[in-house]
Amino acid sequence: MTKLEGKVALVSGSGRGIGRAVALKLASEGARVVINDMDKEPAQETIEEIRSLGGEATACIGSVTEADFGDRFVKTALDTYNGLDIIVNNAGYTWDSVIQKMSDEQFQAMLDVHLMAPFRILRAAAEPIRIFAKNEAQKGEEVFRKVVNISSLAGLGGNAGQVSYSSAKAALSGMTKTLSKEWGRYKVNVNCVAFGLIKTRLTQPLTGEGANIDVEGRKIAVGVQPAFIDAMEKQMIPLGRGGTPEEAANGVYLFCTPESNYISGQVIAVSGGASL
């Protein structure tokens, strides 16, 4: 039997990149996964890949910043699979600038996607989790559930040009530690994974005019200066290279396994040994 057999997992931002790798990893271990992306096509591609491998998955399309998204996300899991065992708050992007050039909109956007969205998802999950835990306790069962919030080294040590992103990710650590105390009585392990340089479309080397992503009608520049990537890999990352989405997903998976049942309220860096 696989380690997550019968579990139901929510993974936000799982149509692409790290989120997709997390969804595939959890599904490979038996979890039934609710896939989320702003766009239908990448979400469907992830679902089809999971199904082709014999797994189960369904979609909840939309931006995690929508006011009702948390409720819809949780409802999808309950209506489709009648369960809720794992929540991975992964969705997000970067919108960088030094503070003197950063607008209120830019700062708020990072708070909305990296902090308010996880808050709403977890708030929506609170009552179903409480009911599941109460019923299990009455039967004398001890069932552990998992929350994994996704942060960054920027949230641990700051990063020039990312005051909004760093602030939101730092606050997510506080949310993690607080919720681990509130939900311990429900047997929920709440932990946080802080990524270093992981090679995705958001961290691709900048070339020419650079690359953009479309976020709710906004064109957001993404990518990293090649010189910074080179310095990271040669000087700052002890393992000597950036990580793959699959390696990032493995770090998340560790907090979803039964082996983590007595670990809660922790923030762990998945960074090849790098620290900012």
**Predicted confidence (pLDDT) per residue in 97-111, tens digit:** 999 999 999 999 999
pLDDT score at 232: 87
- Examine the pLDDT at 206 and tell me if it is beyond 90: no
C-alpha 68/C-alpha 26 separation (Å) is 25
Residues 13 and 9: their CA atoms lie apart, in Å, by 13
Residues 113-146 have pLDDT tens digits of 999 999 999 999 999 999 999 999 999 999 999 9
Question: Do residues 147 and 87 lie in contact, with contact meaning Cβ atoms separated by under 8 Å?
Answer: yes
Taking only the tens place, the pLDDT of each residue in 214-242 is 888 888 887 778 888 888 899 999 999 99
Q: Which positions are catalytic?
A: 165
Report the percentage of the chain scoring pLDDT > 70.
98
Question: Torsion angle of alpha carbons 4, 74, 46, 210, nearest 10°?
Answer: -120
CA distance 232 to 242: 8
The model's confidence at residue 243, banded by pLDDT at 50, 70 and 90, is very high
Q: Answer yes or no: is pLDDT of 45 > 80.
A: yes
pLDDT at 224 (0 to 100): 79
- ∠ CA 166-202-35, rounded to 5°: 95
- Express each pLDDT in 1-39 by its tens digit: 799 999 999 999 999 999 999 999 999 999 999 999 999
Encode 16-76 in three state secondary structure.
Answer: CHHHHHHHHHHHHCCCEEEECCCCHHHHHHHHHHHHHCCCCEEECCCCCCCCCHHHHHHHH
The domain locations on the chain are 8-197+244-270
Residue type, 141: E
Q: Which CATH number fits domain 8-197+244-270: 3.60.15.10, 2.40.160.10, 2.60.40.10, 3.40.50.720?
A: 3.40.50.720
The whole-model pTM stands at: 0.94
Tokens (6 digits) for 63: 């931006």
pLDDT of residue 202: 78
Cα 54 to Cα 50: distance, rounded to the nearest angstrom? 7
pLDDT, residue 222, reads 79
- SS3 state of residue 72: helix
